[in-house]
Amino acid sequence: MTGPRIVGTRIPGLLLVSLPVHGDARGWFKENWQREKMVGMGLPDFGPVQNNISFNAAVGTTRGIHAEPWDKYITVASGRVFGAWVDLREGAGFGTVFTAEIDVGQAVFVPRGVGNAFQTLDPGTVYSYLVNDHWSPHATDQYVLLNLADETLDIGWPIPLVEAEVSAKDRGHPGLADVTPMPPTTVLVLGADGQLGRALRAALPNAEFATRQTFDLADDASYLRDWSNYSVIINAAAYTDVDGAETAAGRRLAWAVNATGPARLAEIAAAHRITLVHVSTDYVFDGAGAPYDEGAPLSPLGVYGQSKAAGDLAVTAAAGRFYIIRTSWVIGQGKNFVATMAALAARGSAPTVVKDQTGRLTLADDLAAAILHLVESRAPFGTYNVTNSGTPTTWADLARAVFERVGKDPGLVVDVSAADYFKDRTAAPRPENSVLDLTKLESSGFRTRDWKDALVQYPVQAGD
């Protein structure tokens, strides 16, 4: 049995699908939409939630041109139509036209923002379409409407529009010159004031950025917004006070921000077909089984790690379209270990630094680049480890590397065991070895810099 064939058009994302129709004396049968088969051939996994059917009694019935804030999958159940599509999205393709005759053996995938119109060529034509968002009166406010008769489009309607059955509303739509294009969907970055958030500001200048003041994962009011225009949420927000999480107040806040918050984001992402990028941590492991690959069992030692592990599980269970990014030892703009060591070096201090905790540095810029790579390349959804590459190190050896980086004597750094360093402090347990395996990330086509090379290029000077 020959399967469907998918062909691109001059409008990016607008796809023609040839559907095998099998007939005999009883009539005919076709697989109108078969998710696994069609996605495997290149049709977007667009997640339809509503099926609409338009019955058109007369030849020449003409509807459109409407660009809607969702994707559509169009087929004909009976009869034939002349279809016309116009790219009404922001960008160089605005105003591009494509036309085709569609019968029961064809389907068309229409991406968000591409105007759609049709004219019936047979009596009793049944026109059917799947959409991946529920219609609502509010949604119509986001439509982009275009006049069927706009001369600049030069659409060759088989039946002249003066003779066609067209609603007064469709005849009254504006011409192309007066149309405001549909803007693209937006990336929302949470935690935009953190080290990764600042790196993402540089990497995604057109994104929407939210700090804790404008989107607090622990505040119910933050989730009350129109989510329909977001395509990606990057959750770089977290409660990261590892030791504070061991207190009564800190425990409650850690679970609210690191577990309940991601669970709510996952539900929102699933409901609105949003890709959720959730940044996690090496603290979801106990440090006894490194290097950890993405399938390693979770084994957090303290409240911080436990709350982050719970968030990972919630995203995995509910989000559908997600990337969990496990990382460690993140260094970017702002207060961090490298900046602290550089400042101590500038003062000629001899810091005492833990010698028996092992991991890899992650430069925030590299972490941001890896996230963009996974999203933009449409890598398979799931969990990915992201750190800089290179030979694992300890905090003490990293401190010595920073001293060298700023031209100070690395011999000033004093080694101490974690047990001795924390013996007189209220401190959470920490993984002794948190090295993350990078094989899966590299298999996706992305390689991070060696952490030593990245540190050389990191813009820190003694006294920062």
Asked whether 241 and 305 are in contact (CB, 8 A), the reply is no
pLDDT in tens, 338-375: 999 999 999 999 999 999 999 999 999 999 999 999 99
Asked whether 332 and 192 are in contact (CB, 8 A), the reply is no
Model pTM? 0.85
For residue 205, what are the contacts with CB-CB under 8 A and spacing of at least 6?
none
What pLDDT sits at residue 448?
A: 96
Edge to edge, what strands does the sheet with 322-327 contain?
Answer: 208-210, 186-190, 230-235, 275-281, 322-327, 382-385
Fold of the CATH domain 5-178: Jelly Rolls (2.60.120)
pLDDT band at 128 (very low <50, low <70, confident <90, very high): very high
Asked whether 155 and 62 are in contact (CB, 8 A), the reply is no
Q: Which two tokens stand for residue 208?
A: 């929407």
Distance CA 103, CA 13 (A): 21
CB atoms within 10 A of CB 187: 21
pLDDT in tens, 309-335: 999 999 999 888 999 999 999 999 988
411 pLDDT more than 50: yes
For residue 370, what are the contacts with CB-CB under 8 A and spacing of at least 6?
325, 384, 386, 441, 446, 448
CB atoms within 10 A of CB 52: 12
Distance CA 153, CA 165 (A): 20
Give percent of the chain with pLDDT exceeding 70.
98
pLDDT band at 2 (very low <50, low <70, confident <90, very high): low
What pLDDT sits at residue 1?
A: 47
Tell me, yes or no, if 66 is annotated catalytic: yes
For residue 216, what are the contacts with CB-CB under 8 A and spacing of at least 6?
222
119 pLDDT more than 90: yes
What pLDDT sits at residue 319?
A: 83
Residue extents of the structural domains in the chain: 5-178, 186-457
228 pLDDT more than 90: no
pLDDT band at 194 (very low <50, low <70, confident <90, very high): very high
Radius of gyration for the chain, computed over Cα atoms and rounded to the nearest angstrom: 28
Buried b (16+ CB within 10 A) or exposed e, 251-276: bebbbbbbbbbbbbbbebbbebbbbb
Residue 344 buriedness (CB in 10 A; 0-12 / 13-18 / 19+): buried
DSSP 370-407: HHHHHHHTTPPSEEEE---BSS-EEHHHHHHHHHHHTT
Using CA atoms, how far residue 98 sits from 65, 73, 108, 374, in Å, is 13, 16, 11, 31
Asked whether 413 and 327 are in contact (CB, 8 A), the reply is no
229 pLDDT more than 50: yes
CATH number of 186-457: 3.40.50.720
Give just the sign of the alpha carbon dihedral 356, 360, 362, 363. Answer: positive
Distance CA 344, CA 213 (A): 32
Asked whether 97 and 115 are in contact (CB, 8 A), the reply is no
Asked whether 276 and 188 are in contact (CB, 8 A), the reply is no
Give percent of the chain with pLDDT exceeding 90.
87
109 pLDDT more than 60: yes
- Catalytic one of 66, 173, 230, 304: 66
pLDDT band at 460 (very low <50, low <70, confident <90, very high): confident
Tokens 């577990």 belong to which residue? 259
pLDDT band at 461 (very low <50, low <70, confident <90, very high): low
Q: Which residue has the higher pLDDT, 358 or 44?
A: 358
Q: Which run of H or of E encompasses 268?
A: helix 261-272
Q: Which two tokens stand for residue 326?
A: 């496990």
Q: Which two tokens stand for residue 248?
A: 């009564």
Distance CA 322, CA 397 (A): 35
- Catalytic one of 129, 304, 323, 421: 129
CA 284 to chain CA mean position, Å: 22
pLDDT band at 118 (very low <50, low <70, confident <90, very high): very high
Using CA atoms, how far residue 70 sits from 35, 348, 384, in Å, is 18, 60, 29
424 pLDDT more than 90: no
Q: What is the mean pLDDT of the chain?
A: 94
Give just the sign of the alpha carbon dihedral 186, 192, 197, 201. Answer: positive
In 146-258, DSSP assigns E strands to: 186-190, 208-210, 230-235
Judging by DSSP bridges, how do beta strands 21-24 and 106-110 pair with one another? unpaired
For residue 95, what are the contacts with CB-CB under 8 A and spacing of at least 6?
86, 87, 88, 152, 153, 176
Judging by DSSP bridges, how do beta strands 144-145 and 62-67 pair with one another? antiparallel
Tell me, yes or no, if 143 is annotated catalytic: no
437 pLDDT more than 90: yes
